């Protein structure tokens, strides 16, 4: 039986549920006067991109990740809204709760999509297709938005099926119809094939999944590397052994920010590194995790990007300690007033705070900063995020999109010292004892 809404769902335990134009749909729900109109969600600044767009806007050629300037040229009549992550997260939580009322085997991929393994729910709720129909109706009733659902015997094919049925659709790919369904698709449908790999495959004359499937595995591996070659070959034959994993611990947590315009003032860069370090540390603490490796990312005006990382002797979740390492990594780049577009701070090699080794070394970390951070966390829970910040982040002229405005109290025009830059954190940030990395 061919794939379709009425196809056999025997052996199809996986559902992939994907909200249609999620952020934009939530905005339309909030402002019904937008219904039927082209709506674009995204940053409206000179460097914003589209994060979501209604199908009316997509009809003009607008799609997510497109620079906002281009989107507005393609669709001048579009209504641009800035986006409200808290509202989307709340809506998502309601949807995920609905999924968990069906099965505990729910694996969220992002705010707007999830895999469900419904093998154990059949007796209670019916066949996978019946469950999919029910989910679509409930989400529309309760949340006022539509979704698309793919039903298949593997996660990969379920995901392709939901994409294929968009918007507001349902597609069941029966076990015996998998190969026919897959082989007709373009290579870009394969999970792991983006622009570069697609180009690579095209050069080999491979445009469809069927052509990849009929290419010898060693040829693919020579062209794409052993891992990607084997991965794509397996997927092209519908082989995907992955199961639904309800909760995978995070492997890294980080923050990055693109400046409104390029920045060459080191003082602005360091203040931004401090802000991102504090934000990353707060998220580590709320996740109950410590980081072993701190990395920074620097993107220059021409979009070239560097990353640098250092592994710590003592894992931490303290903003000041992360900042200390981040600023040392930045120093080591030896940049002389380079034009910088973005900086980021990331915590990698996470481990549960509860399992962290007790630090008994001589010169162990001072507790001052950690106590200050946990007090700030308490204040943030009570008064809102950002209620307590380092003094250097309170300065109203320290907006990183307004580089070079402020003057240090020591009279230096920027954060340089000794012709390079101050090794010390900005004034008001240093604890009684130096922190130890």
Partner DNA sequence: TCTGGGGTCCTGTAACCT
Partner DNA sequence: TCTGAGGTTACAGGACCC
**What is the 3-class SS of the chain, one letter each residue?**
CCCECCCCCCCCCEEEEEECCHHHHHHHHHCHHHCCCCEEEECCCCCCEEEEECHHHHCCCCCCCCEHHHHHHHCCCCEEECCCHHHHHHHHHHHHHHHHCCCCCEEEEECCEEEEECHHHHHHHCCHHHHHHHHHHHHHHHHCCCEEEEEECCHHHHHHHHHHCCCCCEEECCHHHHHHHHHCCEHHHCCCCCHHHHHHHHHCCCCEHHHHHCCCHHHHHHHHCHHHHHHHHHHHCCCCCCCCCCCCCCCEEEEEEEEEEEECCHHHHHHHHHHHHHHHHHHHHHHCEEEEEEEEEEEECCCCEEEEEEEEEEEECCHHHHHHHHHHHHHHCCCCCCCEEEEEEEEEEEEEHHHCCCCCCCCCCCCHHHHHHHHHHHHHHHHCCCCCCCHHHCCCCCCCCCCCCCCCCCCCCCCCCCCCCCCCCCCCCCCCCCCCC
Least spacing, CB of residue 162 vs DNA, in Å: 9
Asked if 430 interacts with DNA (CB under 7 A), we say no
**Least Å distance between CB 33 and DNA?**
26
Contacting range for DNA; rule: CB under 7 A; set: 94-102, 106-114, 203-211, 389-397: 106-114
Looking at 53-61, 109-117, 165-173, 396-404, which segment touches DNA (CB under 7 A)?
Answer: 109-117
> By CB under 7 A, what part of segment 116-135 binds DNA?
none
Residue with Cβ nearer DNA (191 or 383): 191
Please give the Cα distance from 369 to 5 (Å, whole number): 58
Minimum distance, C-beta of residue 250 to DNA, in the bound complex (Å): 5
Q: Please identify, among the stretches 165-173, 339-347, 408-416, 421-429, the one whose residues bind DNA according to the rule CB under 7 A.
A: 339-347
* Site map (CB under 7 A) of DNA, residues 277-316, x = contact: ------x---------x-x------xxxxxxxxxx-----
Residue 154 near DNA by CB under 7 A: no
Nearer to DNA, 121 or 160 (CB): 160
Q: How far apart are CA 201 and CA 188, in angstroms?
A: 10
Contact residue for DNA among 1, 46, 89, 367 (CB under 7 A) = 46
User: What minimum distance in Å lies between the beta carbon of 89 and DNA?
Assistant: 12
Q: How many residues bind DNA (CB under 7 A)?
A: 56
- CA–CA gap between residue 15 and residue 100 (Å, rounded): 13
Contact 307, 295 (CB under 8 A): yes
Is 49 one of the binding residues for DNA (CB under 7 A)? yes
Q: 113 catalytic, yes or no?
A: yes
Which of 64, 127, 328, 437 contacts DNA by CB under 7 A?
64
User: Which span sits near DNA by CB under 7 A: 88-96, 340-348, 365-373, 408-416?
Assistant: 340-348
- The reply to whether 386 sits near DNA by the rule CB under 7 A is no
Report, in Å, the least distance between residue 206 CB and DNA: 13
Interatomic CA distance for residues 294 and 422, integer angstroms? 20
Footprint on residues 248-277 left by DNA (CB under 7 A):
250-258
Please state the closest distance from residue 190 (CB atom) to DNA, in A. 7
Q: Interaction with DNA in 173-192: which residues (CB under 7 A)?
A: 190-192
We find the least distance from the C-beta atom of residue 196 to DNA, in angstroms, to be 3
Name the residue nearer to DNA (CB basis): 3 or 201: 201
Contact of 110 with 85, CB cutoff 8 Å: no
Burial of 360 (0-12, 13-18, 19+ CB in 10 A): exposed
Minimum Å gap between C-beta 410 and DNA is 30
Among positions 200-229, residues that touch DNA (CB under 7 A) are 225-228
Among the candidate windows 67-75, 137-145, 178-186, 389-397, which touches DNA by CB under 7 A? 67-75
Closest CB to DNA among residues 115, 270: 115
Residue 149 is encoded by which pair of tokens? 């659902």
Q: Exactly one of 113, 272, 324, 406 is catalytic; name it.
A: 113
When the beta carbons of 96 and 125 are compared against DNA, the nearer one is 96
Show the tokens assigned to 251.
């492997």
Which residues of this chain interact with DNA, rule CB under 7 A? 43, 46-49, 51, 64-65, 67, 69-70, 109-110, 112-113, 159, 190-198, 225-228, 231, 250-258, 283, 293, 295, 302-311, 341-342, 344, 346
Residues catalogued as catalytic: 113
């Amino acid at each position: 039986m061919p794939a379709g809404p009425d196809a056999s769902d025997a052996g199809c335990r996986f559902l992939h549920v994907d909200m249609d134009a999620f952020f934009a749909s939530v905005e339309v729900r909030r402002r019904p006067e937008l219904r039927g109109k082209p709506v674009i969600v995204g940053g409206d600044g000179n460097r914003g991109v589209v994060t979501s767009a209604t199908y009316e806007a997509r009809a003009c050629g607008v799609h997510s990740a497109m620079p906002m300037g281009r989107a507005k040229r393609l669709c001048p009549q579009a209504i641009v809204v800035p986006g409200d992550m808290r509202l989307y997260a709340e809506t998502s939580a309601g949807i995920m709760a609905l999924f968990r009322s069906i099965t505990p085997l729910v694996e969220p991929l992002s705010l707007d999509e999830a895999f469900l393994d419904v093998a154990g729910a059949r007796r209670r709720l019916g066949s996978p297709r019946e469950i999919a129909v029910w989910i679509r109706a409930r989400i529309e009733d309760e949340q006022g938005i539509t979704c698309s659902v793919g039903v298949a015997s593997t996660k990969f094919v379920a995901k392709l099926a939901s994409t294929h049925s968009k918007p507001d659709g349902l597609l069941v790919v029966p076990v015996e119809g998998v190969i026919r369904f897959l082989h007709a698709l373009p290579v870009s449908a394969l999970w792991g094939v983006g622009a570069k790999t697609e180009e690579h495959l095209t050069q080999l004359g491979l445009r469809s999944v069927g052509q990849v499937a009929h290419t010898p595995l060693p040829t693919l591996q020579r062209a794409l590397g052993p891992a990607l070659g084997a991965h794509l070959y397996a997927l092209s034959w519908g082989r995907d052994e992955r199961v639904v994993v309800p909760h995978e611990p995070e492997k890294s947590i980080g923050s990055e920010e693109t400046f409104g315009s390029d920045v060459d003032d080191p003082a602005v860069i360091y203040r931004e590194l401090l802000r991102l370090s504090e934000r990353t540390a707060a998220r580590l603490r709320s996740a109950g995790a410590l980081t072993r490796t701190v990395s920074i990312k620097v993107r220059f005006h021409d979009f070239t990007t560097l990353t640098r990382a250092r592994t710590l002797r003592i894992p931490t979740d303290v903003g000041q300690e992360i900042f200390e390492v981040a600023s040392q990594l930045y120093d080591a780049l030896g940049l002389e007033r380079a034009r910088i577009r973005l900086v980021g701070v990331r915590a990698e090699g996470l481990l549960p705070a509860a399992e962290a080794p007790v630090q008994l070394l001589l010169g162990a970390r001072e507790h001052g900063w950690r106590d200050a951070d946990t007090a700030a966390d308490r204040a943030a829970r009570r008064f809102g995020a950002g209620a307590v910040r380092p003094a250097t982040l309170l300065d109203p002229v320290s907006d990183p999109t307004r580089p070079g405005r402020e003057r240090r109290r020591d009279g230096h025009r920027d954060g340089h010292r000794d012709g390079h830059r101050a090794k010390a954190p900005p004034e008001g940030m240093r604890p009684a004892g130096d922190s130890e990395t």
